[in-house]
């Protein structure tokens, strides 16, 4: 399996970095789904180094943090992801809403879901935001 330490030996041309970043994301996401938290954490960290303006890195690190009960850290990471990557901000705002809800801050969670709604025109994502609102009883 691809590991973060392999990054040291790889070239850093922009096209190579983008390809490597996508490989890191794919590996990290698959590891997260398989509950391989160490690999997920390594790969999301590598993605953050390779592509610091990619919200997927920060959202992935946020999810890893949540899995360890670090909800405040997750909240900050989701916010960072939304800030650095406006094109993917909606996904981070949804994550931020979930983190706020877990912290018992329902009004702020609803605001985060509103931010997510405003950050996208994607109808599928907007439907997901509405489902999230219903699940959290925030409507």
- Please state the CATH superfamily assignment of the domain spanning residues 10-135 in this structure: Tetratricopeptide repeat domain (1.25.40.10)
Using alpha carbons only, give the angle 55, 41, 104 rounded to the nearest 5 degrees. 65
pLDDT digits (tens, 9 = 90+) for 36-91: 999 999 999 999 999 999 999 999 999 999 999 999 999 999 999 999 999 999 99
Task: Give the range among 3-17, 28-42, 49-63, 91-105 with minimum mean pLDDT.
Answer: 3-17
Q: Do 93 and 119 touch, CB atoms closer than 8 A?
A: yes
Contacts of residue 85, Cβ cutoff 8 Å, sequence gap at least 6: 53, 54, 55, 56, 58, 92
């Amino acid at each position: 399996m691809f590991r973060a330490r392999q990054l040291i030996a790889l070239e850093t041309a922009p096209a190579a970095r983008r390809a490597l970043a996508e490989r890191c994301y794919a590996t990290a996401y698959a590891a997260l789904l398989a509950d391989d938290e160490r690999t997920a954490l390594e790969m999301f960290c590598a993605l953050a180094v390779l592509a610091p303006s990619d919200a997927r890195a920060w959202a992935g690190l946020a999810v890893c943090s949540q899995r360890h009960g670090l909800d405040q850290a997750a909240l900050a990471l989701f916010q960072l992801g939304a800030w650095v990557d406006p094109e993917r901000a909606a996904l981070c705002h949804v994550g931020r809403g979930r983190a706020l809800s877990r912290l018992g801050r329902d009004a702020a969670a609803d605001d985060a879901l509103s931010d997510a709604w405003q950050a996208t025109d994607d109808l599928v994502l907007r439907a997901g935001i509405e489902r999230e609102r219903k699940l959290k009883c925030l409507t």
